[in-house]
């Protein structure tokens, strides 16, 4: 039986509930953020140390992370650098008491998507979060993986004159593999990220969709981009060097 693809033909503008991670060591601040964001309908986890955040942010596919700069162990910028070096590309809003231009530049260079100086108004935080979520959901025009161009708005893969369009699920699956470029992504993570609550328990749905993706990559004729099975884990996106 072919799994039904219930996603709409057009990429969604994500404005609904988000899964968020708040990394903040001051209990009052953490509680305020958690309460406020939950009231807005978001799902919120909290980490109070850099080490805990490092693991949590790499394990769980959050829509966005609120990351405090000043943490007791690893500081927020160190956490951010480590995530980015591991290919964790979750949008990050850096929260900090430091407002100097030099520090802002350091934060943004480390891979922060936005930056907010404490104290801030909760409304401003919300507005920035929503902007980040929208950006993450498809306002980036295109990106290049190996010899394949991803046209984000149109959900199309292109190589030279050849184009193939992906369904919503295929796009979400491919994006997740691209986001972890080169690293194996577990079936569990793929199910969670691509199917979430719609997952009905048929365990081979990931394999079926990887099959669809491979067919489309073949149609593009790419010799450099492929989806490889990683035994006992899941899949990884392999990108061969051009020679």
Instruction: Using CB under 5 A, list all residues that contact Ca ion.
Output: 25, 68, 70
**Which of residues 11 and 70 has its CB atom nearest to Ca ion in the complex?**
70
Measured from the CB of residue 28, what is the shortest distance to Ca ion in angstroms? 11
Can you give the chain as a three-state secondary structure string?
Answer: CCCCCCCCCCCCCCCCCCEEEEECCCHHHHHHHHHHHHHCCCEEEEECCHHHHHHHHHHCCCCEEEEECCCCCCCHHHHHHHHHHCCCCCCEEEEECCCCHHHHHHHHHCCCCEEEECCCCHHHHHHHHHHHHHHHHHHCCEEEECCEEEECCCCEEEECCEEEECCHHHHHHHHHHHHCCCCCEEHHHHHHHHHHHHCCCCCCHHHHHHHHHHHHHHHHCCCCEEEEEECCCEEEEEECCCC
Rank residues 25 and 63 by Cβ distance to Ca ion and give the closer one.
25
Least distance (Å) between residue 12 CB and Ca ion: 34
Closest residue (Cβ) to Ca ion? 70
Judged by beta carbon, residue 31 or residue 162, the one nearer Ca ion is 31
Q: Provide, rounded to whole angstroms, the least separation between the CB of residue 37 and Ca ion.
A: 17
What is the closest distance, in whole angstroms, from the C-beta atom of residue 77 to Ca ion in the complex?
Answer: 12
Q: Which is closer to Ca ion, CB of 68 or CB of 114?
A: 68
């Amino acid at each position: 039986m072919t799994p039904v693809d219930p996603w709409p033909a057009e990429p969604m503008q994500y404005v609904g509930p988000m899964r968020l991670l708040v990394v903040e060591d001051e209990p009052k601040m953490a509680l305020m953020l958690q309460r406020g964001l939950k009231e807005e309908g978001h799902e919120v986890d909290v980490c109070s140390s850099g080490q805990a955040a490092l693991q949590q942010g790499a394990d769980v596919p959050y829509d966005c992370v609120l990351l405090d700069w000043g943490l007791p162990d690893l500081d927020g910028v160190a956490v951010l650098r480590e995530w980015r070096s591991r290919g964790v590309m979750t949008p990050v809003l850096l929260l900090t008491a430091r407002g100097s231009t030099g520090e802002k530049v350091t934060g943004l260079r480390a891979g922060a998507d936005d930056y907010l100086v404490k104290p801030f108004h909760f409304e401003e935080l919300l507005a920035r979060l929503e902007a980040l979520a929208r950006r993450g959901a498809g306002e980036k025009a295109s990106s290049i993986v190996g010899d394949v161009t991803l046209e984000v708005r149109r959900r199309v893969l292109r190589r030279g004159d050849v184009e193939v369009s992906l369904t919503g699920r295929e796009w979400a699956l491919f994006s997740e593999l691209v986001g972890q470029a080169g690293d194996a992504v577990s079936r569990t993570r793929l199910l969670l990220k691509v199917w979430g609550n719609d997952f009905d328990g048929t365990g081979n749905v990931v394999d079926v969709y990887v099959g669809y993706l491979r067919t489309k990559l073949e149609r593009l004729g790419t010799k450099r981009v492929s989806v490889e099975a990683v035994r006992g884990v899941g899949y990884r996106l392999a990108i061969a060097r051009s020679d």
